[in-house]
Every structure is written in structure tokens, then in C-alpha cells.
Amino acid sequence: MDARRCLLSVHAHPDDEASKGAGTVHRYHAEGVRTVLVCCTGGEAGEILNPAMDTPEVRDRLAEVRMEELARSAEIIGFDEVVMLGYRDSGMPDSPENADPRCFARAPLDEAVGRLVAVLRRERPQVVLTYGDDQEGYPHPDHLRVHEVTMAALDAAADPTSFVGTGEPWTVPKVYYSAWSRTRILAMHEKFGELGLESPFTDRWFERPSQDHRLTTHIDVSGLYAVRAAALRAHATQIDPTSAFWFGLPDEIAATVHPQEDFILARSEVPVDLPEGDLFAGLPAVTEDAR
């Protein structure tokens, strides 16, 4: 077991790190855990969803703008390092971007796995956050690929015969899938109703399969709503500040609705008692000198 604590998150695009687990990462960073973000694509295929940012100047340099937004978001959340895996955004199925051989979804699996193995062996995280095995609700090609590449890289990183020359083998003790719980969505939907506001959570949201029965881990992020909100707003091309989905509830009220982030424990090399409230539960304590 490595003496230093490290939490590594694998995401598909710039802005995913703000919408999934931002409060959790900020909390652990504040506690002295090293926090690393692996972003697999540059988000080049993202649409400009904020009308105020939809200008010729932004469109002409969207890839650069998204990198600038990512840097601001990562600083707000508290990532100690951002690692770009180096692939292009795959876009949606049947799009021109999805046919580009440079995109993440079409990259040779062994190549992408090898790049992530090198990061895992260098950082030696005790906890990895990634995307789940069931993405029926939103089957984006890059999100599906994140799961595939991460799980293969976790196995390969632990195998001394795989990717020789990329560092000493490392077995990640705990692996989690990020999840947006049905409970959270319902709580937000009901709060809109209580305030007499139109909810953005239409019937289609509740037709999606729920994974609440799989949730194992709930991280208290009370008081950290402002971090997530600021990180989201940093992605000015992707997040419309007038969007009811993201900001339809007043910030001071949104901060009180389901103030936790939910995860599914996918793998553990240590005994755990579920449900749990700490991603590092079951792992040996570290001394202050090793933080």
C-alpha cells in the first residue's frame, strides 16, 4: 500500500469533472488527498450551449476555449493535476466526429489502455472514480469508452507482464462508478414543484432505469454546492447560466437538496462495510508525513 493518499478520476470531456463528483473531489483535496483528473478527450465536438458564448471568435477556437474552461474548473474543484489522455471528442453515433480515426471511440484499445496504465502506475491511487457498466440512460460513445478503457487499464496496471516499461505494477484498492441517483433527481423535481417552478425533469427522466439499488457509497458534500456551481459555470460554452436544469433552483435552496454525492463500489481489495460514507473506508490510515 502506497503511503500517500491519491484519488484519481477518469472523465470523458471537459465539464464532466464539474457535473460528476466535484464536491467529493474538493472535499478530499481539502483533507490533503492528492487529486488527479484524467480527461480522455478535448471536447472538440461539444456544441456551444450558452447563447452568450456562441460567437464566431469562440467557434473558431473552441478546442482552446474548452481547455481554458477545464483549467478554471479544475482549479476551483481542487485537482492537483490534470492529465489529458490525448484523444479527440467522438461526438454522437453517426456524426462526422464519430467517424474520425483520431477520436477516442475509434482509438486502438491497447493504445488507450497503455496511456492510462502509465498514469495509474505513476500516481498509484488508492481510489479511482470512473463511469459505470450500465449507461443505458445516456450511452455517449466517449462515456462508454471511458468505462471500457478504465477497467482494462486497472487490470493491466496490476499485471507485471503488461505494458512493461511504464512503471511498477499497481493494484488500485478501490474503484467506484459515479452515479446520478433517482433519489436526487426526484428530490430536485419535488423542490421545483414546492416553489411553484417548472421542473426540467420531465417524464423521460423517470423512464430511465434507476440504479439506486446498486448505490453503496454516499459522500456528504454539505456546504460544497458553491464549488460545484462555480466549476460548472467555468464551462461557459457548455453550461448556460440561465439553464433550468443546472440553475433553475436558487443556489441557496439547491445547496440543501440531496447534499451528497452517490457512488457504486465496483471493486475493492479491502474489506468494507456497506453502505459507506468514505471512499477511503477500509484502507490503512496514513500519517501526516505521508499525506
pLDDT tens for each residue of 267-289:
999 999 999 999 999 999 875 44
CA end-to-end distance (rounded Å), the chain: 13
pLDDT at 87: 97
Confidence of residue 137 (pLDDT cuts 50, 70, 90): confident
Residue 276 within any structural domain of the chain? no
- The per-residue pLDDT for range 14-66, each reduced to its tens digit, is 999 999 999 999 999 999 999 999 999 999 988 899 999 999 999 999 999 99
- The per-residue pLDDT for range 83-125, each reduced to its tens digit, is 999 999 998 888 888 988 899 999 999 999 999 999 999 999 9
pLDDT at 2: 55
Give the count of domains, the chain.
1
Residue 224 within any structural domain of the chain? yes
Q: How far is CA 90 from CA 23, 103, 256, in A?
A: 27, 5, 36
pTM: 0.94
Closest CA to 72 of 196, 223, 233: 233
| Residue 218, all three cell numbers | 454516499
Residue 86 within any structural domain of the chain? yes
pLDDT at 290: 47
106: Cβ–Cβ under 8 A, 6 or more apart, which residues? 90, 98, 99, 100
- The per-residue pLDDT for range 182-221, each reduced to its tens digit, is 999 999 999 999 999 999 999 999 998 899 999 999 999 9
pLDDT at 96: 87
> What's 276's DSSP letter?
B
Residue 291 within any structural domain of the chain? no
- The per-residue pLDDT for range 242-274, each reduced to its tens digit, is 999 999 999 999 999 999 999 999 999 999 999
* Residue 275, preceding peptide bond in cis (omega within 30° of 0): yes
- Measured in degrees and rounded to the nearest 5, phi and psi for residue 71 equal -60, -40
Chain center to CA of 32:
20
- Coil, strand or helix at 284: coil
Residue 95 within any structural domain of the chain? yes
d(CA 82, CA 79): 7
Under a CB-based contact definition with an 8 Å cutoff, are residues 42 and 88 in contact?
yes
Which CATH number goes with the domain that contains 124? Answer: 3.40.50.10320
Residue 234: give the domain boundaries.
6-181+212-268
Residue 141 within any structural domain of the chain? yes
pLDDT at 291: 45
- Coil, strand or helix at 143: helix
76: Cβ–Cβ under 8 A, 6 or more apart, which residues? 227, 230, 231, 234
Mean pLDDT of 235-243: 95
